[in-house]
Each structure stands twice: as structure tokens, then as C-alpha cells.
Amino acid sequence: MNIEKIRLEISKYKGKEVFLKINIGRNRYENIIGVVQDIYPYLFTVKVNDDLKTFSYVDVLTKNVILTQ
């Protein structure tokens, strides 16, 4: 899978609620639920409560961020 395919896949989730499993290091993960807000050429944003979190497509490619619906 390449970055362009990942971008197209994530663009399908725009405006929808998603579940993210984020690798924060040393075998620890943070699980969050948010709504995909915007899709940019190199990153995407997810609104979690009142916070806006930013992730890159490389994070998804390297499986540091796992995104499911």
C-alpha cells in the first residue's frame, strides 16, 4: 500500500466517526474516537472532543496509527 492509496481510503472517512489506535511507544497504545475533519496532501486532522489532532499518512503506512470505523 502506498501513501496515495492511504489518502484515498482516509478521505472516505471524512465527516465520519473513526476509532484510532495510536502507538505512543514501548508497547503502549492510546485509543481514541473522533471525527475526521480535513484531508490535506501530507496529513489529516481528527477532532476529538474539543481538540484537533493531526496525523500524517506515513503514520498510517508504518502502522503507528491504526484507523478503523
CB 53 within 8 A of CB 46: yes
The whole model's pTM is what?
Answer: 0.89
C-alpha cell, 11:
478521505
Residues 58, 6 contacting (CB under 8 angstroms): no
- Please tell me the predicted confidence (pLDDT) of residue 4: 94
What is the structure's pLDDT at 15?
A: 96
Cell of 43: 496529513
1 pLDDT above the threshold of 90? no
- Integer Cα distance of 9 and 30 in angstroms: 22
Residue 22 confidence (pLDDT): 96
Q: What domains lie within the chain, and their CATH numbers?
A: 3-68 (2.30.30.100)
What's the pLDDT at 12? 95
pLDDT in tens, 6-61: 999 999 999 999 999 999 999 999 999 999 999 999 999 999 999 999 999 999 99
